[in-house]
Structures are given as structure tokens and as C-alpha cells.
Amino acid sequence: MKYISTRGQGGEKSFQEVLLAGLAEDGGLYVPAELPQFDLEKIRSLRGLPYNELAFEVIKPFVAGDIPDAKLKEMIDDSYAAFSHEAVAPLTQLKSHQWVMELFHGPTLAFKDFALQLLGRLLDYVLTERGERAVVLGATSGDTGSAAIEGCRHSEALDIFILHPYQRVSEVQRRQMTTVLDSNVYNIAVQGNFDDCQAMVKQCFADQSFLPRSSEKKTRLVAVNSINWARIMAQVVYYFHASLELGGPDREIAFSVPTGNFGDIFAGYIARGMGLPVSKLIVATNRNDILHRFFQNNDYSKQSLEHTLSPSMDIMVSSNFERLLFDLNDRDGQALAELMATFEKTGKLSASEQSWQKIRELFDSSRTDDQDTCDAIKALFDRTEYLADPHTITGIRALEELETDSRTPNLVLATAHPVKFPEAIEKAGLDTPELPHHMKDLLEREERYDVVDNDLNSVKKFIHTHL
């Protein structure tokens, strides 16, 4: 499989190159030069497979030529054996035609584990084969950080630096990161918001001269955010899983996806591009609604980032949106590079009217504020005794608000476990469930993290001195 940058430079790359690079050298994101195609017969043949076997079939073409089948299979089997539910991504029906797919049965209780358990293993395998070490650098609004640490901490080939916005993640989320005391793990609490953290991570990738150099080799920086294609690739699998559970590919499914960095829903777009019958992709946002404004009014313009009860979606600049824009611009890297340069200068962009109209046939969107988040969590619980987390509920609310075809199964991605967000659950007037067994003493464990100014040089200096 070959990959290209959304900004058109640098030629074709292999999966290993893309895995290890994160961002492309021209500042773009990697996408497959061509998507693998699964016809209906092939998709039908996947029916009934356990999650790990399905994952192997879906992921295999993306890594072809770079990871031996037997090794890939072993890594996938190990990744999903770490999940606490036998079905890995179980579906629960909330009402007729409406299901949630629970993506929070991994070790850190959010959907990030699906990709980061595998990504950690892929990195460890590839780096060990090459006899190299690397520095993992990531930004988190709460969930990617702990999942990345959990996925990578056991690798002797990796040092891990995670930036999170100081006092802007929940206590459980913070402690899931900061109570990991391994000597290769560094948590940096930046006195800014998630967009600041993500922008600094991208700037570190763009200019890596701050990294120490050993005599033989320069230090390699690796991305664990969904700018890394391997993240999207692993997330594609559960769209196939949901569809097959609900009668696909012989009926279409509509997916409603709590959205921030546009990675999770973009994986659904890729599944559709591979041949999976998907009728709608619904972008559910919180008050940070740049994507909602794009899908409603063709207006992708930055506003100030607000702190909400769904902190993991407190994102304004959505990295993966660039991957969609690449397709909307007929995969013209030059045109996309110009569009992104305009966005960097002016803080806004829009698509051509024709491509926006076309993409609106597939995508719809909805926005939920904090009050509606609490009201909807309570109303759902009163009706069904199902406790949704404040991110998942935005996806459920979107389905209530938008008119969807009642004959098509509607599936919401349940992206995190409610136990991670007691503030929202309490504000909804409900009791937070107990922490699961492996995290029982989380609130008593020793923490270690450093608070750093919202300043690129301070972050670079921190990384440099700790390597």
C-alpha cells in the first residue's frame, strides 16, 4: 500500500514510513494513494468473525508489503485481548432502530484504546526490527494521552511526551496519565488549551532541530494523535463490525459520532470509501462547533475555544478535516496547500459550493451545549437506565434532533465510559458509577507531571532536557 501527503509533496511513501513520520514533511497528512476495495461478497464473508479476526482482514491491505501477516495477526490478537468485554465493541439497543456501540472496554475506557493498543505494538515491532529508538509526542484533551501511554509504555524503544491543557481535563483523565510513573513517560500540563497543545506538537514535527542528536543518528519523533494514519486505519474496523452486527452489508447504516479532531468520523468515511454501505455520517459537536458550522453553512471559521462538560471534544482546529478537504478538492495537493495556508492566515475557510452540496448528502451535524448534555443524560437514564457519558450523549441527541430514515439502523459511537466524567454525571443529577477494578485506587495513587508555560520554546526545552 502506498501513501501520499494531502499537500502534494514528497511522493509516495510506504506504511512504515507513514507510521514513523506522523506529519508529512510538507505539513500535510498522509492518506492512502488508493483505498482498498471490499465488494459486498467480501464484506458478507466477514460476517460472524470475532473482532480480532475482522480487524486482521480489514487492516491487512493497509500494511501490505510492510508488516508480515503472521506478525500483524499476533499484534492484533494481543491488542484486543486486553479488552474487558468479550465482544470487544458490544452493541446495546436503546430503542427501535437506535443502537450504541460501546468503544470503552479497553484499558483506559475510551475509544482511543482501539488504535493505540495496536499502534504501540506496531511501533515497537518496526523500531526493534530497525534497531532504532523514537520519541512519542502527542497532545491530548483527555483520552488520547492515557491510551497512548498505556499502549507505548512497555516498549523499550520509546520515550513518551504527552501535552495536556492544564486543569482542562477531568481528574480521572489526568490521573490516568500522571499516575504512570515509568521512567520513559513525561506528562506536560500546558497553561493553555488543547488547540495550543496540538499546534505545538505540529510545530515540533515541522522543526525537529531541538531534538538531541546522537553521533550516529538523529532522534526520531513519532505521532500518536490521529494525524498518524495508523490511528485512522485501526478505527475503520469497528464501522465494519457495527454494520455486520446490524445486517450489513445488505442494509445501510447511519452513524452518529461525537466529534472533535474529526478522526473517528473520518474512519467511517474511509470505511464507506472501501465499500461499506453507510447512509449518513452525523457529526455531533459540543459548544465548540466549528465542524457543525461547516456542515450547516459552509463556514469553517475559528472562534475562541470554550471549556465544556465534554472536555475531550474541546477542540477548534480539527486536524483530520484536512483529509476530507483533500477529497473535496479532487485530491489536488497544491490547491489544498493553498487552502490551508489561507486558513492559517485568516482562521477561516469554506469549500466550493458544489463540493459542499455534494458532501452534505453524506454528512449531517448537530451541536449540544452543556445544559442539553445534562438534560439528555438524565432523560435517557430515566427512560432506559442507560448511563451515557457527556461525549456519547451528543451523538444520541443528534439522532433525536435530526430526521433520520426510521427504517435505517442508527448507530451512535459510545466513545468513553461515564466514570471518567463525574462532573457531568453529577450535574445531570445522577450517581457516577464506581471505577473498575484495575483503577480502584486511582484517586489515591502518586502523581507526577510538570506545568509548563503555553510557549513552544518552553515545551521544546522540556523535551530536550528530559531526553
Ligand X SMILES: N[C@@H](CCOP(=O)(O)O)C(=O)O
Q: Is 312 in the site for ligand X (CB under 6 A)?
A: yes
Burial class of 65 by CB neighbour count within 10 A (0 to 12, 13 to 18, 19+): exposed
Whether the CB-CB separation of 188 and 146 falls below 8 Å is answered with: no
Q: Which does 140 bind (CB under 5 to 8 A by kind): ligand PLP, ligand X, none?
A: ligand X
* Window 299 to 318, contacts with ligand PLP (CB under 6 A): 312-313
Lookup: cell for 15:
506504511
Give min distance, CB of 313 to ligand X, in A. Answer: 6
**Residue 263 interacting with ligand PLP (CB under 6 A):** yes
Q: How far is the CB of 243 from ligand PLP (least distance, A)?
A: 19
Which does residue 150 bind out of ligand X, ligand PLP, none, counting CB within 5 to 8 angstroms by kind? none
- The one segment of 65-73, 256-264, 300-308, 346-354 that binds ligand X by CB under 6 A: 256-264
Count of Cβ atoms closer than 10 Å to residue 99 Cβ = 19
Min dist. Cβ of residue 232 to ligand X (A): 9
Q: Do residues 115 and 231 make contact, with C-beta atoms less than 8 angstroms apart?
A: yes
Residue number with CB closer to ligand PLP (397 or 460): 397
Cell 501511554 sits on residue: 149
Q: How far, in Å, are 63, 130, 203 from residue 126 at the CA level? A: 12, 6, 25
Enumerate residues 125-184 that contact ligand PLP by CB under 6 A.
143
Q: Please tell me whether residue 249 binds ligand X under the rule CB under 6 A.
A: no
Query: Which H, E and C letters describe 386-438, residue by residue?
Result: CCCCCCHHHHHHHHHHCCCCCCCCEEEEECECHHHCHHHHHHCCCCCCCCCHH
Contact of residue 262 among ligand PLP, ligand X, none (CB under 5-8 Å per partner type): ligand PLP
Q: How far is CA 309 from CA 143, 368, 437, in A?
A: 14, 11, 25
259 binds, among ligand PLP, ligand X, none (CB under 5 to 8 A by kind): ligand PLP
The correct pick among 271, 374, 416, 424 for binding ligand PLP (CB under 6 A) is 416
Closest CB 277 distance from ligand PLP, rounded Å: 22
Q: 3-state DSSP call for residue 84?
A: coil
Q: Which does 276 bind (CB under 5 to 8 A by kind): ligand PLP, ligand X, none?
A: none
Query: Contact with ligand X (CB under 6 A): which of 22, 142, 165, 258?
Result: 142
Q: Strand, coil or helix: what is 278?
A: strand
141 binds ligand X (CB under 6 A): yes
Burial of residue 465 (number of CB atoms within 10 Å: 0-12, 13-18, 19+): exposed
Q: Smallest Cα–Cα separation from 189: which of 171, 216, 208, 212?
A: 171
Least distance between ligand X and beta carbon 189 (Å): 14
Please list, residue by residue across 370-379, b when 16 or more beta carbons sit within 10 angstroms of its beta carbon and e when fewer do: bebbbbbbbb
Cα separation, 156 vs 53, in Å, equals 28
Kindly tell me which of 55 and 116 has the beta carbon lying closer to ligand X: 116
Instruction: Give the one entry of ligand PLP, ligand X, none that residue 366 binds, where binding means its C-beta sits below a cut-off of 5 to 8 angstroms depending on kind.
Output: none
Q: Taking the complex as a whole, how short is the minimal distance between the CB of residue 170 and ligand X, in angstroms?
A: 10
In our burial notation (b when 16+ CB lie closer than 10 A, e otherwise), range 247-271 reads ebbeebbbbbbbbbbbbbbbbbbbb
Closest to ligand X by CB, 237 or 246: 237
* Span 344-403, contacts to ligand PLP by CB under 6 A: 391
409: cis peptide before it, omega within 30°? no
Q: Which of residues 186-245 bind ligand PLP (CB under 6 A)?
A: 226
* Catalytic positions, written as ranges: 112
Q: Tell me whether residue 109 or residue 157 sits nearer to ligand PLP (CB atom).
A: 109
Among candidates 56, 54, 108, which has minimal Cα distance to 83?
108
Task: Report the residue from 21, 110, 135, 163 that binds ligand PLP according to the rule CB under 6 A.
Answer: 110
Residue 258 CB, nearest approach to ligand PLP (Å): 4
Number of residues near ligand PLP (by CB under 6 A):
15
Q: How far is CA 171 from CA 40, 371, 419, in A?
A: 45, 21, 11
List residues binding ligand X (CB under 6 A).
Answer: 140-145, 225-226, 260-261, 263, 312, 319
